């Protein structure tokens, strides 16, 4: 109960008590809490909805390939998230988790730095970054596509060490569709050095795992196949 101070007033010969003010012991009402700004939700493989679609559309704007922007978080979107996180120095997770740091980076993203030396650099080229497990395609000097990849494992297997060759190469030939080779099946291969190619694969893990080729996620392999013609530079570092 509030304590109220009373004052005396003389009205028509009568003394009347009237309230003057609340005493210092009164407790003021607490202000209403300000509503929190709604942030983007955490996402991962299997997520669905409008936030996933926003993620996919933003990745497309930044030249990654999340597949169709359908609001469904599948393996193609996960591979694009992995690539984006590696470019932005975030640690990719197996489930492709997208949280506060990734959403923040999507607002202010980094871009890969060219690795081809200036004296060799051509405006139309593919760069394979072994250390970061990334492939970057440049068209007319501008980034056209950034993809996650899995290159040579470094293991000794099938009579040799599985290593992706480093150096300056050119696209020698392309095969649309499936190529069954001695060491495995290649989808839409783009050959840049002998039997070494950029190609689609159902298995493109977060670590180097191939016999020496640069594996690409399904869907991204066809996008790259259409984008990169015979004769383009391929620089592997």
- CATH assignment at residue 214: 2.40.440.10
- 175 and 101 inside one domain: no
pLDDT tens digits for 25-67? Answer: 444 454 444 333 358 999 999 999 999 999 999 999 999 999 9
Mean pLDDT of 119-148: 98
- 103 and 154 inside one domain: no
- 225 and 149 inside one domain: yes
Whether 74 is covered by a domain: the verdict is yes
- 63 and 144 inside one domain: no
Of the residues 63, 148, 211, 213, which is catalytic?
213
What is the number of domains present in the chain? Answer: 2
- Token pair of 52 as six digits: 């996933």
Average per-residue pLDDT in the chain? Answer: 88
- 155 and 213 inside one domain: yes
Residues across the chain: 237
- 230 and 129 inside one domain: yes
CB 127 within 8 A of CB 141: no
213 is catalytic: yes
Whether 20 is covered by a domain: the verdict is no
Q: Which DSSP state fits 43? A: B
- 93 and 173 inside one domain: no
CB 146 within 8 A of CB 64: yes
Q: Is the pLDDT of residue 15 over 90?
A: no
Mean pLDDT of 121-145: 98
- 185 and 218 inside one domain: yes
The pLDDT, as a whole number, for residue 38 is 56
- 160 and 86 inside one domain: no
- 158 and 208 inside one domain: yes
Burial label, 16 (beta-carbon count in 10 A; 0-12, 13-18, 19+): exposed
pLDDT classification of 183: cutoffs 50, 70, 90: confident
The pLDDT, as a whole number, for residue 17 is 46
The pLDDT, as a whole number, for residue 86 is 98
- 74 and 162 inside one domain: no
pLDDT classification of 158: cutoffs 50, 70, 90: confident
pLDDT classification of 175: cutoffs 50, 70, 90: very high
- 90 and 175 inside one domain: no
The pLDDT, as a whole number, for residue 184 is 85
The pLDDT, as a whole number, for residue 42 is 98
| % residues pLDDT > 90 (the chain) | 81
Q: Is the pLDDT of residue 83 over 90?
A: yes
Where among 107, 140, 175 does a domain terminate?
Answer: 107
Whether 95 is covered by a domain: the verdict is yes
pLDDT classification of 182: cutoffs 50, 70, 90: confident
Structural domain harbouring 84: 50-107
Q: Is the pLDDT of residue 187 over 90?
A: yes
Of the residues 63, 148, 199, 211, which is catalytic?
199
Q: Is the pLDDT of residue 190 over 50?
A: yes
- Return the HEC string of 195-223: CEEEEECCCCCCCCCECCCEEECCCHHHH
The pLDDT, as a whole number, for residue 29 is 52
The pLDDT, as a whole number, for residue 167 is 98
Looking at residue 65, which CATH number applies to its domain? 1.10.101.10
| % residues pLDDT > 70 (the chain) | 84
63 is catalytic: no
Distance (Å, rounded) from C-alpha 86 to C-alpha 206? 10
Burial label, 44 (beta-carbon count in 10 A; 0-12, 13-18, 19+): middle
- 45-79 residues labelled b (16+ CB within 10 A) or e (exposed): eebeeebbbbbbebbeebbbbbbebebbbbebbbb
Whether 11 is covered by a domain: the verdict is no
183 phi, psi to nearest 5 deg = -100, 5
């Amino acid at each position: 109960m509030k304590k109220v101070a009373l004052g005396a007033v003389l009205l028509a010969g009568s003394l009347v008590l009237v309230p003057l003010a609340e005493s210092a012991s009164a407790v003021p009402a607490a202000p209403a809490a300000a509503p929190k700004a709604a942030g983007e939700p955490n996402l991962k493989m299997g997520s669905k909805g409008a936030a996933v679609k926003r993620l996919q559309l933003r990745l497309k704007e930044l030249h990654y390939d999340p597949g169709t922007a359908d609001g469904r978080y599948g393996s193609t979107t996960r591979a694009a998230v992995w690539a984006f996180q590696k470019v932005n120095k975030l640690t990719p997770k197996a489930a492709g988790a997208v949280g506060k740091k990734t959403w923040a980076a999507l607002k202010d993203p980094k871009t890969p730095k060219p690795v081809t030396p200036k004296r060799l650099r051509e405006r139309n080229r593919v760069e394979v970054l072994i250390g970061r497990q990334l492939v970057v395609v440049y068209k007319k000097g501008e980034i056209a596509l950034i993809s996650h990849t899995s290159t040579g494992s470094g293991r000794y297997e099938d009579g040799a060490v599985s290593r992706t060759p480093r150096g300056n190469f050119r696209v020698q030939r392309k095969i649309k569709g499936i190529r069954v080779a001695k060491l495995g099946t290649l989808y839409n291969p783009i050959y840049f050095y002998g039997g070494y190619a950029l190609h689609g694969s159902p298995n493109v893990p977060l670590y180097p795992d191939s016999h020496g080729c640069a594996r690409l996620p399904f869907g991204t392999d066809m996008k790259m196949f259409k984008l990169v013609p015979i004769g383009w530079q391929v620089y592997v570092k």
